[in-house]
Amino acid sequence: MTSLWPRIEPLLAHVSKPARYIGCEDGAVGAGSLEGLVSWLLVYPDSYEIGLPNQGLQILYEILNERPDARAERAYAPWPDMERLMRRSSVPLFSLESHHPAAAFDVLAFNLSAELVYTNVLNCIDLAGVPVRAGERDERHPLVLAGGHCAFNPEPLADFVDAFVIGDGEEAVGDITEVVKSEGRSRHALLRRLAATPGVYVPAAYTVDYDGPRLVSVRKVWSEAPEVVHKRTVSDLAAWPYPKRQLVPLTEVVHDRLNVEIFRGCTRGCRFCQAGMITRPVRERPSSQVRRMVSEGLARTGYDEVSLTSLSSADFSGIEDVVGGIVDDPASARQVSVSLPSLRVDAFTVGVAAHIQKVRRTGLTFAPEAGTWRMRQVINKLITEEDLYGAVESAFSQGWRRVKLYFLTGLPTETDEDTLGIAELARSCASIGRSHHRGATVTASVGGFVPKPQTPFQWFGQETLDGLQRRIGLLREATRRDRAVQLKWHDPRATLAEGIASRGDRRIGAVIEQVWRRGGVFQEWSEHFSLELWTEAMAAQGLSVDWYVHRERDRDEVLPWSHISAGLHEDFLWQEWQDALAASGTPDCRWTPCYDCGACTGYGLEHVVASTVAPAGGSQGTGQNLARGGEVPVRLLARVTAGVPR
Amino acid sequence: MRLRIRFTKLGKVRWTSHRDVARMWERAFRRVGLPLAYSEGFTPRPKVSFGLALPTGHESMAEYLDVELSDAEAGAPDLVALKARLSAALPEGIEVAALCVLEPGSPSLQEDVEACSWRWLAVPGEGSLPLSVDDLGKRVAHALAAPALEVARWRKGRETTVDIRPGIGRLEVVEADGEGVWLDADLAARPQGVRPADVLAALGPDLEERHVRRTHQWIVRRGERLEPLGSQGVPQAPHAEARAS
């Protein structure tokens, strides 16, 4: 197979950021043949700068390339200027390593990390020269796979994707490689085998029935398919020290630094947070392995910054020791800075941040998420005002000049008082800042809430566009006169479009296709986003935005993702929803007794945490004071082997 | 102590920007553990200064940078070993060609470089007639005979015209190949820098540049043209090899 490079290169002088298309990253596999190997093209359906740092994709890339029988290469969605030239010159989607055409691979595997990239998935399939609808593909075409967080409601893409991987991909990609190796491109046999593979959902194996707008059942039609597809869970992160060779891009990307995943899963229990619900239980990486991955990674890549990634990094057992070990490592006596991407809101955490950001103290970010204690009990983000003010006081007193606060609006039961509480908190934080520096600023960043599948808020009717705009208006008015407070907000029109895709069923597929056919790509980008494309497509398909987005669901309603399980008992989610409406919080089960959400018990798993003691500082989301020293009942399992539902 | 390094930028990596190349070097210096001097202030940066920016997409045999080492470093590093280690830590296509220790007080590349040599292919644009050596040769002779060569430039969002004739030191037609005709030129770096694209603009609206490659950069000492890299800060004739000092 020949490389497309001689046809690609003449286009590069005419596009923005041509380095997006050359590959050559340190850590990438060199150009090579796909002959005789199960070949995967891992596609991130957004721009190179956004997609390259994606850890999930990099992990699978390495695992596949370590297999003697597989080869993985990568592709990212070409920017519209490049896409135009590619289409004009009949250059198909290509891989970056060998510049092979995408259709030459056995598998096109997409990472779905946000709903608004769905139209880019279709565009990439089409650019590959493959029919976008799964039903129109045959033996000549690659298998189209998708995975990632959005796969927990796969239905909006069911018409376009042959099979979805639900949950952690580390083990599943090996299983799928084996299936493809034995079945080749014999499409029907291949899909049947995949439907029987744990954690793999093949939409063609199921049929759905509607009664008017209502979904009434999802039935399997292939005998080998399970009634419910359960997610895959890697039980022990220590067995998967990936990426070992993180890709170092030649051009600037987001998160351009060494990234080391220190744990997966989160049991803080924030009810709006899909990531926290679908990635349970907590699985920590051993500190010694974290330190090794950091020191080897810094030496290999030459980065001067490392990010310790997770959903709430300050919750890692012994975070101080790990951070101290990195900062005081004589080998990194040069200028290395450590970042914790999701800071917990308390003074202790700021202390850790102060320890690691000795040099560049520009801004710190916290996510109180809601403006009043009542609202934070509803969403189960149980941080008190004292926690926040303590954190902010600590930050400003230790030299930071800017504090950024993340909030959601349009939450269940939210009143105007709750909304205005956002402005109140921001102004109070700014006044703390002013007592330390004249130029201290607080940025309040507000996003409209989109209810997500597999969370306690999956039944909630999303706030309307008008409602969100009114709330943003209230906040603008309330912060207008305080020059130290900057208000930023996410476009509520994009929030609405995201709501259409988030909880959609198979009928939304036709909407996504129409938006794409009318040129609606890169919908995550404000310069390309168009709400009209989405509302027009909904109308053209005879679908009601109100029904899909703003309607509150009943308990007995069949949800489109009811045959996909993140391990959480439906009872647990419903009880959490009821507790939310009653403004009643639920503690973190790492340090308090198990309430049986299902994520551990159904799978023979346990939290893998190194410490039975909650980390110091703050109220820890338990409503109790769990200052250091309070032993709590949690069993420690250093290694567990189960990972498949029993 | 300051080191001066000459390096290449060839192949796919030519599609990276000047800023991208600066970042590659910072990572490479850290990978080989070279003790760099850092600037003061909120965001300390290693003290690395690059010469003339190379436009994205152009290749080069002769890029330069100066890097300042930390005072704590005693004695000169082993330059031969460093050359190999740096090349290994850089992407394919970026290769260290030579390096030396600079005399204290040596002028910076920005102040010092007077001109660059370029070689590139002129091709007819879409819909234009094929190009011959004779045809282009006539146009070159005509241009060099002209008292002034006005070309359009965008500066601060406004189009202006500049006379590039004083900045063309030498302009020769080399040979034809299947695509077009190769040109070779010495073009001034200052006061008014001239690029190959400017030259093509002056030679005719139908021409496009391909495979542009910077082959040399030049400084002047006592009226003599030299390359910016030599031992002991003394400029030395073409492409001095790395010396262990």
Among chain B residues, the shortest Cα distance to A8 is held by B12
Residues A220 and A291 in one domain: no
pTM value?
Answer: 0.93
Whole-angstrom distance, CA of residue A378 vs CA of residue A584 = 6
Best of A14, A85, A334, A357 to substitute, by most chain B Cβ atoms within 10 angstroms, is A334
Residues A193 and A256 in one domain: no
pLDDT for the residue numbered A640? 35
Asked if B27 and A361 come within 8 Å (Cβ–Cβ), the reply is: no
- Residues of chain B with C-beta less than 8 angstroms from the C-beta of A248: 27
- Residues of chain B with C-beta less than 8 angstroms from the C-beta of A303: 27, 30
Tell me the per-residue pLDDT of B43-82, one tens digit each, with 9 for 90 and over: 778 899 998 999 999 999 999 999 999 876 667 788 899 9
pLDDT for the residue numbered A44? 98
**CB proximity under 8 Å: B 122-151 to A:** none
Residues A29 and A68 in one domain: yes
Range with the poorest average pLDDT among A77-86, A183-192, A596-605? A596-605
By the CB < 8 Å criterion, does A300 face chain B? yes
Decide: B1 and B34 in contact? Cβ < 8 Å: no
| B26: helix, strand or coil | helix
Whole-angstrom distance, CA of residue A436 vs CA of residue A531 = 43
Residues A77 and A222 in one domain: yes
Tokens of A149: 């967080």
Tell me the per-residue pLDDT of B127-162, one tens digit each, with 9 for 90 and over: 888 899 999 999 999 999 999 999 998 878 888 999
Q: Given B24, B26, B43, which is nearest A250 (Cβ)?
A: B24
Exposed, middle or buried by CB within 10 Å (0-12, 13-18, 19+), for A252? middle
pLDDT for the residue numbered A319? 85
> How many Cβ atoms sit within 10 Å of the Cβ of residue A294?
23
Q: Is the pLDDT of residue A617 over 80?
A: no
CATH of domain B115-221: 3.30.70.3190
The H or E element spanning position A339 is strand A337-339
Asked if A362 and B12 come within 8 Å (Cβ–Cβ), the reply is: no
ipTM value for the complex: 0.90
Residues A206 and A246 in one domain: no
Give the domain-ending residue among A230, A254, A283. Answer: A230
Residues A219 and A268 in one domain: no
User: Which amino acid does the sequence have at A163?
Assistant: A
Best of B9, B10, B15 to substitute, by most chain A Cβ atoms within 10 angstroms, is B15
Residues A242 and A176 in one domain: no
Tokens of B35: 């003790």
- Residues of chain A with C-beta less than 8 angstroms from the C-beta of B17: 19, 251
pLDDT for the residue numbered B243? 38
Decide: A323 and A352 in contact? Cβ < 8 Å: yes
List Cβ neighbours of A298 (8 Å cut-off, separation of 6 or more): A258, A304, A306, A332, A336, B30
- Residues of chain B with C-beta less than 8 angstroms from the C-beta of A24: 12-13, 91-93
What is the average pLDDT score of chain A? 91
Which parts of B15-121 fold into alpha helices (H)?
Answer: 18-31, 79-89, 109-112
- Residues of chain A with C-beta less than 8 angstroms from the C-beta of B31: 299-302
Domain that holds residue A127: 5-230
Tell me the per-residue pLDDT of A508-564, one tens digit each, with 9 for 90 and over: 999 999 999 999 999 999 999 999 999 999 999 999 999 999 999 999 999 999 999
Tell me the per-residue pLDDT of B209-240, one tens digit each, with 9 for 90 and over: 999 999 999 999 999 999 998 644 444 443 44
pLDDT for the residue numbered A64? 98
pLDDT for the residue numbered A313? 87
Give the domain-ending residue among A171, A202, A230. Answer: A230
| A42: helix, strand or coil | strand
- Residues of chain A with C-beta less than 8 angstroms from the C-beta of B56: 18-19
Residues A74 and A183 in one domain: yes
Return the domain boundaries, chain B.
2-112+228-233, 115-221
> How many Cβ atoms sit within 10 Å of the Cβ of residue A211?
8
Decide: A454 and A574 in contact? Cβ < 8 Å: no
Shortest CA gap A74–chain B (Å): 17
The structural domain count of chain A equals 2
CATH of the domain at A151: 3.40.50.2300
Residues A312 and A163 in one domain: no
Query: In this structure, is residue A67 part of a structural domain?
Result: yes
Token look-up 């060779």 returns A245
**What fold, for B2-112+228-233?**
Alpha-Beta Plaits (3.30.70)
Asked if B20 and A251 come within 8 Å (Cβ–Cβ), the reply is: yes
Among chain A residues, the shortest Cα distance to B20 is held by A251
DSSP A94: B
Which parts of A128-183 fold into alpha helices (H)?
Answer: 172-183
pLDDT for the residue numbered A333? 55
